[in-house]
Amino acid sequence: MSKKNHNSAPWMCGQCKHGFRSQDAVRMHINDAHPTIRNCGIYHRIEQVAGPEYEPSLGERAVDAELALAMGEPTEDAWLLGE
């Protein structure tokens, strides 16, 4: 079971799923790394919880699964989306 570190990167690039500390950092990253992507999404992890014991909630896993499916990546949590 892989543990993702969501704590220090509440903002995420919708293109490569890289995490960033601020929305501006994501915008700068998109301009820099994905200049040809016009409507690259910027995602904000709302359920940000600090602490080493943090586990993603089902809702957060569903968001991750939705992202993975949208990007054509395999996910173990597709059932959360009713698929």
| Residues at the interface with Zn ion (CB under 5 A) | 13, 15-16, 18, 33
Question: How far is 16 from 10, CA to CA, in rounded Å?
Answer: 15
Question: How far is 47 from 66, CA to CA, in rounded Å?
Answer: 16
DSSP character at residue 3? P
Look at the chain and count its residues: 83
Nearest distance in Å: CB 44, Zn ion:
15
Nearest distance in Å: CB 74, Zn ion:
19
Q: Which is nearer to Zn ion, 16 or 58 (CB)?
A: 16
Q: Which is nearer to Zn ion, 43 or 54 (CB)?
A: 43
Nearest distance in Å: CB 1, Zn ion:
25
Q: Which is nearer to Zn ion, 42 or 69 (CB)?
A: 42
Q: Enter the tokens of residue 69.
A: 């499916």
Question: How far is 5 from 52, CA to CA, in rounded Å?
Answer: 9
